Each structure stands twice: as structure tokens, then as C-alpha cells.
Amino acid sequence: MSDPCSHTLHMIVRTHYELGQTALRIICDERYLPIVKDAVHSARSIIENKIAEDPFFGTTFEPYPPLKDDHQLVQHMCQSSMLSNVGPMAGVAGAIAKYAVDAAIENGCDHIIIDNGGDICMRTSETTIIGVFSGDDRFKDIAFSIPPTDHIFSICSSSGKVGPSVSFGNSGICTVFSNDPVLADCCATAFGNMIREGTSEEMSQASEDIASVDDVSGCVCVSNGLIAMCGEIPEMVRVSSTESDVTKILFPHI
């Protein structure tokens, strides 16, 4: 009998899944969907238990130091908040996505993309195009070509104008690239918070600051018709898209 969770791709599906405040777009072999959904439930329970234990964890916008008895997932959120100078819940979307992707990979999945509200965690066996919506028509066709990977890669975005997430800045979009989705999520929030006026000097300095964080590979900011980038950026490509979400997974076509 063949392993129902073998490395061979079977039927890649695109699924929308909601649990509480979590709304995901999942692309993976359909056989892994139960594993992914169970992992999302587990991750949420871990975080909810921490908030029940200390409600301040769920509300603070300041860095929150990890405790030795915290679950590893919570510790990761805390460590990322310390590195990026934001609250730990700034990394909640990346944390849940990573937990689910890790679970799928541990069970043999080699092609999975999870978009959690504009924060993407992925490991792919083929090139994938990720479109980023900035709310600025001058940059509406921006997308990034992500090659196949044998490890997790993340693209996390924050906007002061698009999407429901809290941002104290006024950017069109601030996007961070990293192999660590929790750190990328926190840094995207920090990046967005830095963009108040959207001047070239402000954007350049903020880009340099974020790209200098350990384990951040690069970042891009679009604001007021300007674009700033720093570090290693995936290949940029032009696409035709009218998508109004923060991000759009354009390929593979499902």
C-alpha cells in the first residue's frame, strides 16, 4: 500500500479556511489539508492559552520577553518581537502559518503555500509568482518570482492603507523577505510603523534598518509613488492584476 502522504504531488488545490479570526488561503496537495487544519487549530490553542494566562501578551505593542515555560511557538513570537521592537502578536499570522507548514513538511509535503492575511509562508517545488498590492496604481503590477525551495521561505507585508492589520505608519506596502515567517511578520509591522511621511529619506533609512536585522534577507517599501528596497530581493516581475488584497498568489494556477 502506498503512503497517503508521499512526497509525490497528487492533486494541488487552493483552499480558503477560516477558524476564529484566522483566515487562510492554502495551496497544497489535498491529502495534507487535514494535517494543515489540525495544526492551525493547535497553534491557535497554544496562543489563546498564553493570552488566557497573561492577557497583556495579547494586547501589548511593546516587545515581550519569552519565559522559559512558554511553548516554543510563543517563545518564537516573543523573540521576534524583541528583535523587531514590536509586540508579540505582530507575529501571530506568521506563527500560525509556519506551524501549519512545518506540520505538513514533517508529514512529507514538499509543496505548500499558506497566505495568512498578506503574510505568506511557503515551501515550493516550482517557481511561484507572488503579487503585492500597494494601493498605488503606479506600482500595481509589482510581483516577485520565488524559485523552488527546500526550506521555508516567507514574504510578509504590512500596510497603513490596505488590509485589517494594525499599523502606526502610512505606507502603501512594506514587505519583508526571510526564511523565518514569525520574524518577517514582526519586522513587516515594524517597517510599516517607521513610514510616517513617506519621504525618500525616511523610506531609505527604514529599509536599511529592517534589512540589517539578523535573518532578514531583504525588504521593499512602496509609499507616495516611491519605492525603496534593501538587501536580497527576489526577482521582480510585472503582472496584470486588479487584486485588492495585500498579496496575490498568481502561480501555480489552480
Looking at 56-70, 80-94, 206-220, 234-248, which range is the least confident one? 234-248
Rank 10-24, 168-182, 237-251 by mean pLDDT and report only the highest. Answer: 10-24
| Contact residues for 222 (Cβ-Cβ < 8 A; gap 6+) | 132, 134, 136, 139, 142, 171, 172, 173
Pure H helices in the chain: 33-53, 55-59, 72-84, 92-106, 181-194, 200-211
pLDDT digits (tens, 9 = 90+) for 55-87: 999 999 999 999 999 999 999 999 999 999 999
- What is the reported pLDDT for 245? 43
Q: What is the 3-state secondary structure (H, E, C) of 50-82?
A: HHHHCHHHHHCCCCCCCCCCCCHHHHHHHHHHH
Name which residue leads in pLDDT, 46 or 2: 46
**d(Cα 135, Cα 217) in Å, to the nearest integer?**
24
pLDDT digits (tens, 9 = 90+) for 160-200: 555 444 444 455 789 999 999 999 999 999 999 999 888 99
Fold of 12-249: T-fold (3.10.520)
pLDDT range class, residue 11, cuts 50, 70, 90: confident
